[in-house]
Structure 1
Amino acid sequence: MNELMLAAQDGLKIDWTRMPTYNTIMSVAAGAGLLLVVALGYRLLNGHAIVSESWALAFGVLGIILFATGLHMTLTWPLAGQGFPFDNIIFGEPSLAFGTLLLAAAFYLWKRGRQWEETPDRPRTTAMLSGPVSLFVFAMGLACLAIAAAGWKYTLFAAPPEEPISGEFADHPQLEASFISGLYVLVGLGALFYPALLRRRSNTTAWIVGTCWTLSGLAFLAFGALNYFTHIGLIINTM
């Protein structure tokens, strides 16, 4: 799959000076962001107290990470100069989109959070504020489903044998492809139901969005943390 990776007698060799990779921090930040969005939505729908400045700080930290890394990966074509230009689309563009949304939420909560906290009907106000941007969320949901379909069709995401843990399944490339594609399906489904949640605020729709983003958030966070070990091992094993 990678013509510029040199398969020497002692195994796979990668020129890491031409293969920058930081989807580790992107995955952790995206997972944490999804979980925090669900947590804020839960508190909002159930009438719990919300300190807007604390949520603004949390969204701002994660938004900066995802915006910066996603923007760099999106505009640097291809970032991975050894045969993986599709990573720019798969990881860079969704991270840029999510990071921008988090930064917008952080900015609003920081500037207008106190007024928002004192609003008599916060769910309705939030729905009105989020209504226009929900079109973009819906569109990115469709994009996530398209990424998932590409992952299955072209067997993307499979780790080489030199990568610890994930490489144990190198002979079964559809396994990891199905895992990552499945996460994109969950994120996409949550995004598709998000506009409906804003309009109706039904328990069923809230459960669907919350479940999809909670499961995918936990998986992205845990998988990204695990990749700090597996990616370091891959680099050492292929230098």
Structure 2
Amino acid sequence: MPTYNTIMSLCAGAGLLLVVALGWLLLTDRPVVPDAWAMGFGALGVILFATGLHMTLTWPLAGQGFPFDNVIFGEPSLGFGVLLLFAAFFLWRRGAALGEVGVDRGRTVAALAAPVSLLVLGLGLACFGIAAAGWRYTLFAAPPEEPISGEFAGHPMLEASFMSALYVLTGVGAVLFPFVLRRRGGAVAWTAGICWTLAGLAFLLFGALNYFTHIGLIVNTM
């Protein structure tokens, strides 16, 4: 039973890329238009919050198929969605503090995001747990009826390793986030940025591909 991790993956990937892009603008002292970023974070946050909350509270959403999807996709989407919504609210109401070039915006962001960085760290550790479960129990493998991904149904560890690796990349960036705030640049920031960029691109493209593969799976199993 496919769930709506299509739109979740798409928005999570876009959200990771936007976070990296905004961080790069702030660290390199480039102009920022707060209202534009508020709309970007807000749109993604609403989708991830709504779908993540429904999947988290409707337990299990896919009772006849993959109930572990509630934990794997629902709860991380809910957490990320809430973070994006609060970031959007701040940028909308107080974003002028980040719109000025020349001030120490890195120090301002670090002070504001320090408390919530504990949640980001926790979500990163959760991503490691999801990745370990994916490898241990060979999750994420597509059924043979699913187009494209189903071609590798005989090699379940392949897709399990791919998806678990994405969660590891996301987790590394999240675990490093508090240290990025503390150092405001350097190798730690670049490492987190690269991890989230790679994971964001992969989640975005994989989510877009799933629109075809999930529709095909539904049609093939009707």
- TM-score using structure 1 length: 0.91
Q: Which residue of 1 aligns with 2:3?
A: 21
Which residue does 1:209 correspond to in 2? Answer: 192
Residue number in structure 1 paired with 2:44: 62
* Partners of 1:145 and 1:188 within 8 A in 2: yes
Tell me how far 1:202 sits from its aligned partner: 3.3
**1:151 corresponds to which of 105, 117, 134:** 134
1:200 CA displacement: 1.0
SS of 2:95's partner is helix
Cα offset, 1:74, TM superposition: 0.2
Q: Please name the residue that 2:58 is paired with.
A: 76
Alpha carbons 1:24, 1:225 under 8 Å: kept: yes
Match of 1:97 in 2: 79
Listed as ranges, the matches of 1:1-239 within 5 Å are 19=1, 21-118=3-100, 120-239=103-222
After superposing on structure 2, the runs of 4+ consecutive aligned residues of structure 1 that deviate more than 4 Å are: none
Structure 1 unaligned runs (5+)? 1-18
User: For the residues of structure 2 that align with 1:111 and 1:202, how far apart are their CA atoms?
Assistant: 26
Would the alpha carbon gap of residues 74 and 154 (structure 1) be closer, same or farther in structure 2, given more than 3 Å must change? same
> Contact 1:166–1:230 (CA<8 Å) still a contact in 2?
yes
Distance 1:40 1:151 in 2: 31
TM-score of the superposition, structure 2-length normalised? 0.98
Take 1:77 and 1:194, find their aligned partners in 2: how far apart are those partners?
31
Q: Which amino acid is the alignment partner of residue 197 of structure 2?
A: T
Amino acid at match of 1:209: A
1:179 aligned partner, one-letter code: F
120-129 vs 199-208, greater mean Cα deviation: 199-208
Q: How far, CA to CA, are the matches of 1:208 and 1:40 in structure 2?
A: 16
Report how many residues are paired. 221
* Cα distance between partner residues in 2 of 1:170 and 1:83: 16
What is the SS of the residue equivalent to 2:205?
Answer: helix
- Cα deviation 1:79-123 (Å, max 9, x = unaligned): 002042111000000000000000000000000111332382111
Distance in 1, matches of 2:139 and 2:208, equals 20
Question: Is the contact made by 2:2 and 2:214 (CA closer than 8 Å) also made in structure 1?
Answer: no
Give the aligned residue type for 1:133. V
Aligned partners of 2:8 and 2:77 also within 8 Å:
yes
Larger Cα-atom Rg = 1
Contact 1:20/1:79 (<8 A) preserved: no
| Residues 32 and 98, structure 2, Cα contact 8 Å, conserved in 1 | no
Answer whether contact 2:51 2:74 (CA < 8 A) is retained. yes
Give the deviation of 1:201 after TM superposition.
Answer: 1.8
For 1:39-88, what per-residue CA distance to the aligned partner results, in whole angstroms no more than 9, with x for missing partners?
00000000010000000000000000000000000000000020421110
Q: Does the CA-based 8 Å contact 1:38-1:214 persist in structure 2?
A: yes
Q: Percent of aligned positions with the same letter in both sequences?
A: 72
Partners of 1:70 and 1:94 within 8 A in 2 = yes
- Root-mean-square deviation over aligned CA pairs: 1.0
Structure 1 residue 20, shift from structure 2 partner: 6.0
Match in the other structure for 1:14: none
